[in-house]
A = this chain, B = another copy of it.
Amino acid sequence: MQACGLIVEYNPFHNGHVYHIQASREASGADCLIAVMSGSFLQRGEPAIIDKFHRAKAALSAGVDIVLELPYLYAVQSSDLFARGSVHTLNAVGVSSICFGSESGNISHFTKSYDIFKQEQSVYKTTLHEKLNQGLAFPEASRLAYQSIGLTTSEMNLAKPNNILGFSYVKTILDHKLPIDPLTITRTKSGYHDKRITDSIASATSIRNELIKEQSISDTADSALPEVTVNQLKAYQQQAALWHSWEHYFNLLHYRVMTMSQEELADIHGVDEGLEYRIKKSAQDVSSFHEWMNSIKTKRYTWTRLQRIFTHVLTNTKKTDADYIKNASSVPYVRLLGMTKTGQKYLNSCKKEMDVPLISSIIGITNPTLSIEEKASRAYYSILPAQKKKPFHHQELQPPVMV
């Protein structure tokens, strides 16, 4: 059996993802599709709208065979670490290929860009540091550094978000000489043939915002999302009475910051350059998450970077915690969230050859990165009333979801 890997967040699973599944199956010719998915918190530093199990179920119902959880320490990170964790997780379960969506849609442009990047790495680095020293945020500094080595042309534009992520995947595969074929499918609006998909991708962000704001499924959302997602959104809401957003966490986050010393805040992963003062000071007088973010945001501190930092504050993730993955050349474990019969068959065939443990239930396992995972998941559910939390914590200890 051959497997193809997908790197996803499914927040929520939408029609574009259905297309990604179909196109990946076609492009790779694989019998088994394995998605590595962010857990409770997402790459841009936000709580997922519904929990990982409901998101996994939607994906499994729509054609994915296995869903693995990307460890928190890799998930809530900039693209390089996010890519490293995702690719290594997929490598650990022996995928032959990884298929990602990109604006480019042409894999040879990625591999060519990799060669250029390797040759011009010193120019890239010099420009990057120069721009960071000028006070630019990392994404902007990196864009200008890519520009300085000719990687923001129309053929391969590393200013586009999905190209950037895809390039990180390709870099990880080639840097570590992993036996994985990178594949890509077009992710721009015009690249899709189906009008319904086009529209739904374009509106994914606005639908997510609408879901969070209204806390109910509007007609627009209902028609733009696959039925599997609508079902899982409804099921989760019935159990938890809400869909998660940062504003739900404002009180906890504010309480936490107000009862931390500046020294403790400075120990949190991502809190650098005296940011602890800005966070403490601004906390005095804010009454919503949005207001707080706006009062700290600067050119250097982008919205996303600050959200990631606040996620680490909420989950109490320390600089010393992040050290676990700093120089790791593989992931500490692979955690299975759910699978189909096909997925199960694939895992049975590959698990003997795996170099890292495959975890299907976290009961009784003690491991420093798993305890970070537990803190993140506890923080995620902490906004629910005491009685509602219980079944979700129970779920964390259960065997994987079978669809």
- Measured CB to CB, the residues of A under 8 A from B are 250-252, 254-256, 258-261, 264, 284-288, 314-316, 371, 375, 378-379, 382, 385-387, 389-390, 393
Q: Smallest CB–CB gap between A342 and chain B, Å?
A: 35
Q: Give Cα distance in the complex from A189 to B25, angstroms.
A: 83
Contact B254 A382 (CB under 8 A): yes
CA distance A266 to B316 in the complex (A): 16
Question: B386 to A255, Cβ gap below 8 A?
Answer: no
In contact, B375 and A250 (Cβ under 8 angstroms)? no
Do B387 and A287 have beta carbons less than 8 Å apart? yes
Tell me, rounded to whole Å, the shortest Cβ–Cβ distance linking A146 to chain B.
38
In the complex the two chains form, is B316's CB within 8 Å of A386's CB?
A: no
How many subunits of this chain does the assembly comprise? Answer: 2
**Which residue of chain B lies nearest to A371 when distances are taken between CB atoms in the complex?**
B261
Which residue from B259, B378, B386, B390 sits with its C-beta under 8 Å from A259?
B378
Expressed in whole angstroms, the minimum distance between the Cβ of A319 and any Cβ of chain B is 14
Q: A284-B393, A393-B284 are in contact. Are A386 and B250 (CB under 8 A)?
A: yes
Q: Which residues of B contact A286 (CB under 8 A)?
A: 386
Q: A252-B252, A284-B393, A393-B284 are in contact. Are A258 and B382 (CB under 8 A)?
A: yes
Partner of A379, one of B258, B371, B385, B387: B258
In the complex formed, the residue of B with least CB distance to A283 is B378
A314: chain B residues within 8 A (beta carbon): 259
Minimum distance in angstroms from A167 CB to a CB of chain B:
34
Secondary structure call for the A interface = helix
In the complex, given contacts A250-B386, A251-B385, A264-B316, what are 13 additional A-B residue pairs having Cβ atoms less than 8 angstroms apart? Answer: A251-B386, A252-B252, A252-B255, A255-B379, A256-B256, A258-B375, A258-B379, A258-B382, A259-B315, A259-B316, A259-B379, A285-B390, A286-B386
Rank and list the top 7 A-B pairs by shortest CB-CB distance, nearest first: A287-B386, A258-B378, A255-B382, A259-B316, A259-B375, A259-B379, A287-B387
Minimum Cβ distance to chain B for residue A365 (Å): 15
Query: Taking each of A251, A259, A375, which has the highest tally of chain B beta carbons within 10 Å of its own beta carbon?
Result: A259
- Ordered by A's residue number, 9 sampled pairs between the chains whose C-beta atoms are within 8 Å are A251-B382, A254-B382, A258-B379, A258-B382, A259-B315, A259-B316, A259-B375, A286-B386, A288-B386
State in angstroms the CA–CA spacing of A255 and B251 once bound together: 12
Give Cα A284 to B397, complex, Å.
12
**How far does the alpha carbon of A285 sit from the alpha carbon of B315 in the complex, in Å?**
19
Give A385's nearest chain B residue, CB to CB: B251
A287 to B393, CA, bound (A): 12
Q: Chain B: which residue is nearest A287 at the CB level?
A: B386
**In the complex, residue of chain B having the shortest beta-carbon distance to the beta carbon of A318:** B261
By the criterion CB–CB under 8 Å, are B287 and A390 in contact? yes
Partner of A378, one of B255, B316, B382: B255
Q: Is the CB–CB distance between A316 and B390 below 8 Å?
A: no
Minimum Cβ distance to chain B for residue A120 (Å): 43
A370 → chain B, closest Cβ, in Å? 13
